[in-house]
Chain A
Amino acid sequence: MKLKTLAIGVALSLMSSGAYAACSFENTTPIKSLSAGFEAWKSVTDAMAECGNFEAELDQEFRTKQPSALAANPALYQIGGVSNGTVTPLLNEGLIRPLDDLIAEHGQGLSENQMIKIDGKTMAVAMMVNTQHLMYRKDIFDEVGIEVPKTWDEVIAAAQKIEEAGVVEYPLGATMKSGWNLAQDFNNMFLGYGGSFVNDDSTPNVNSEVGVKALETMKKLTQFMDPEYLVSDSTYVQQQFQQGKIAMANLWASRAGAMDDESESQVVGKVHAAAAPLAMEGGAPATTLWWDGMVIAKNITDEEAEAAMKLIVEGLDTEMVKANNDDAIWLIPGYEPSRLAEGAIATVNASPAPASYPSTSQMGLMHTALGNELPAFFTGERDAKATLEAVEAAYVTAAKEAGVLE
C-alpha cells in the first residue's frame, strides 16, 4: 500500500518536472533571474521555468542586490527584473547589454511598444505598466451613496461619509510605511500639485509651498487610516482590502489581481478601480507611471545571453498572458483589460497625463532623504516647513557626497 502511494508520488513529481509541453523549446543553458516578487513576476517566471534549467529568485529587496550581483564577473544572474525606477544604476554602471541583435533574432513575439530604448538602443523589454491609482469597494460606495472621488478633496469628503456610516473599520488605506513607500506617496502628491524635486543645477526644490501642501493633504488623509499607517506597505494595504478592513486606497495596479483571488480575498468582485485622484483642479492625477520589464546582464557569455532572450520571449508570450490576464496591466499582445484594469488605463490616459517616475541619480538621493525625514512630520515631532528643510539638508549632504552637487 505504502509502496503504491510512493510510486504515485514519484510518478506525479516526474510528470510535473518533466512536463515541458507548455514551452516551445527545451532550454539547456542554466539561467537564473532576480526580480521583484509580486504576482506578475510569479506568473512570468513560472512560464519561463517550464522550459527547464531556469531558476527564478523573487525578492522584494531585489533593488539593493541587483547592481552588485550583475557587477560580478560572471554575473550572478543572467536576467534581471527591473522597473523604470531600478534600471538606472544598471544603465549608469554599464551592467546590462543592448538587446537589439537578440530581439531581431529571437524576439518575433514582442511588440515595438515593449522596447525600452535609451538613445535608440533597446536596453530592456517591458512586460507591464504599473501605477498607483484609486481602488475602492463599490458595494460600500453604493450603500453609502457616494460617487467615485476624482480629487483628493473628494476622497476626504467620501472618507468622512464612510466613517459616519460606520460600515468599515477604516475608510482609507495607504502605502505609507516609513522609507521608500512613504517617500513615494509624497512623490505622488507633490507631482500632483505640480512640484519638481530638483532644479536644473541639482539643488533641491521640495521646501516650497507645493511641498507643504502635499504634506498637509497627506496628514489630513491619515485621520481616516489605521493609526499604524507608518508600517503599512503595499502587501499590508492589499491584505486590508482582502480582509474588508478598508474602503479605498491609492494602491499599485499590480496588486489589483489579488482582490479577486478567492483563496485570499473576502471581497471578490467588490473592489473596483478608478483613475488616481487629482491633487488640484486641472493637474495630472497625483501618481507616477512605471513599467516593469527584463534586462540581460553584460558580464555573461553570448550563449547564455541567447538562452536568456529565448526564455524572456517564452515568458512574455500570449499564452502566459491568457493564463494570468488579471495579474497586471500587460503590454503583451493578447491582454484583455478587465474591470480591475480600468483604473490604471484611466490614469495613463488622463489629460494631462501623470509623469513617469523621474529616475535619475538626483531622484534616488531625494527619495532616500524623503523616506528618512518625512516620518518625523507624521509622528508630530516636526512641522511641515522644518521637515522639508531637513529633507533638503539631507539631500544636499548626500548629493555632495555622491558628486552630483558641487
Chain B
Amino acid sequence: MKFRTFAAFVGPSIFLMVLFIAAPLVTVFLQSFQLNQPIVERVEVETCTPGFPAQKCVTEVKTQPLLDENGNVRTTSTWVGFESYANVLQLDRVAEAISDGRPGRILTIDFWKALRFTLTFTLVTLPLVIGVGLAIALAVNNLTRALRGQIIFVSLLPFIITPVIGALSIRWLFIGDGILTSLLESWLDRDISMFAQGWTIEAMMLFYRVWHVAPFAFVVFYAGLQTVNQDTLESAIIDGASRWERLRYVIIPHLMPLIVFIALIHLMDAYRAFEEVVGFSSQAHRITLQWLTYDYLTPDDSGNRSISRASASAMLTMVGIVILLIPLLRRSWRDHRGG
C-alpha cells in the first residue's frame, strides 16, 4: 500500500486517539504529581436562617476561598512528587499493620481493599466467562439448525442490556424481600438477607459479570467453531478419539488465539469494574479501584474534591491493568513472530 493511502486511512484514527486517549492520559499523569489548592481565608460570617417563629442569626468563623476580580476561585498549584500516590497507597499504615502482626488490617485501607476485590473479581470471572462462553458455543453448535437462531438470540440478551440496568435488575430481585429472596426463604425456610454481608454481595457481583459477559465470549467462540477443520475432526474420530479428546486436542488448540483475545478484553474490562458497585450499592462491603477513583472525584457538599488523589488512583489502575496483561501480550507477541 502506498504510504499516502495508508496515512489517509489511519490518520483520522490516530488523531482521535491522540485527542481522546493520549492527551487526557498525559494530563492525568501530570495532575497526579500536582496539587491544586484554593487560596483560603478565614472570615467571620453572619448567617441568618429560618426558625419558629422568628429568624435565628449566628456569627461564625468560616474558611472561604478567595475570588479574583473575575469571580473565579484563586488557586495555587504546586508539584508534590509522589505525595498523592502515598496518600492513596498509605504504605505507612500497611507497614504498621504488618509490624503489629495483623496483616488483615491492610484490607481496611481503601486502596488495598479495592485492589483485593478487583483482583478476585477479575481472576474469578475470567475462567468462568471463557468456560461458560465455550460451553454455550459448543451446545449451540450441536443443536439442530432450526433451533439455533432462537437460542443465539436468547443467549445474547444479557449482553444487549445496559450494564447498570442489568445490575439493578439483579439487585431488585434480591434486595429486602425481593422475589428471589422470598423464594429462597420459603424454600430453605430461613431468613435470608443478601445485602447484609460482603460475601453474598460479592457472589452476586461475580454472577452478574459472568452472566453479562459470557454471551460475548459465546459469539466469538461460536464463530471460531465454524472454522474448525472438519477433515482433522473426522480423522480424529477414525483414530478413535472420544468427544472430550477431540475437544482437548483439536478444538481448543484451534480456538486458542480467540481464547487469548477474550481473556485480554475481559481482563481489561473486569479490572475497571464500576457498574457493579453502583448497581449493587456495595460500597459498605466491596469497592473496586475504578469506584475509588470516582469517589475521589465526587465533590462533597462543600464542593471539595480530590483531583490529585483521583489522578494518582487512575494511574495506579492503569499500571495494574498493564501488569495483568503482560503474560497474555507476550504470548500473542510470540505467536505473532512465530507465525
The residues of A with any CB-CB pair to B shorter than 8 Å are 63-64, 67, 84-86, 88-89, 91-94, 112-120, 126, 129, 177-179, 182, 200, 202, 226-231, 236, 291, 298, 331, 345, 348-349, 356, 359-365, 367-368, 372, 375-376, 378-379, 381-382, 386, 390, 393, 397-398, 401-404
Contact = CB atoms under 8 A, between A and B. Distances in A.
15 contacts: A84-B49, A85-B301, A91-B64, A113-B53, A115-B55, A117-B46, A178-B281, A226-B193, A228-B194, A236-B176, A348-B52, A364-B301, A364-B302, A368-B300, A376-B108
Interface stretch (B2-10, B32-40, B147-155): B32-40
A227 B196 contact: yes
Interface string B276-303: 0000010111000000000100111111
Given A67-B299, A88-B302, A376-B108, A404 B40 contact: yes
A288 B130 CA distance: 52
Given A113-B51, A226-B193, A230-B285, A120 B46 contact: yes
Contacts of B87: 397, 401
B99 interface: no
A381 B108 contact: yes
A378 B197 CA distance: 10
Nearest to A345: B52
A112 B302 contact: no
Interface size classification for chain B:
35 or more
A149 B37 CA distance: 47
B309 interface: yes
A342 B87 CA distance: 47
B47 interface: yes
Contacts of A367: 300-301
B300 A364 contact: yes
B50 A93 contact: no
A362 B300 contact: no
A178 B195 CA distance: 12
Contacts of A177: 281
Contacts of B55: 112-113, 115, 117
Contacts of B110: 372
A338 B283 CA distance: 38
A401 B108 contact: no
Nearest to B299: A64
Given A298-B71, A402-B37, 12 more contacts: A64-B298, A117-B46, A118-B45, A129-B50, A177-B281, A226-B176, A230-B285, A236-B176, A291-B50, A365-B302, A381-B107, A401-B309
B238 interface: no
B48 A93 contact: no
B248 interface: no
B302 A359 contact: yes
A356 B107 CA distance: 36
Contacts of A202: 63
B48 A401 contact: no
A293 to B, nearest CB: 9
Nearest to B109: A390
Interface in B28-76: 35, 37-40, 45-55, 57-58, 60-65, 67, 71, 73
Nearest to A349: B52
Most chain B beta-carbon neighbours within 10 Å: one of A86, A228, A378: A228
Nearest to A374: B284
B71 A364 contact: no
A337 B83 CA distance: 54
A280 B96 CA distance: 37
A383 to B, nearest CB: 11
Contacts of B108: 376, 381-382, 386, 390
A363 B64 CA distance: 13
A89 B303 contact: yes
B169 interface: no
Most chain A beta-carbon neighbours within 10 Å: one of B198, B303, B306: B303
Contacts of B65: 92-93
Contacts of A236: 176
B306 A378 contact: no
Nearest to A365: B304
Nearest to B181: A228
A118 B59 CA distance: 10
B76 to A, nearest CB: 8
A86 B195 contact: no
Contacts of A331: 50
Interface string B186-202: 00000001111110000
Given A89-B299, A117-B57, A381-B108, A401 B35 contact: yes
A-B pairs, top 9 by smallest CB distance, nearest first, are: A89-B303, A364-B302, A178-B284, A227-B196, A403-B37, A375-B284, A117-B48, A230-B284, A364-B300
Nearest to B304: A402
Contacts of A348: 51-52
A324 to B, nearest CB: 18
A89 B299 CA distance: 10
B306 A115 contact: no
A231 B197 CA distance: 11
B193 A228 contact: yes
B47 A118 contact: yes
A228 B71 contact: no
A349 B302 CA distance: 28
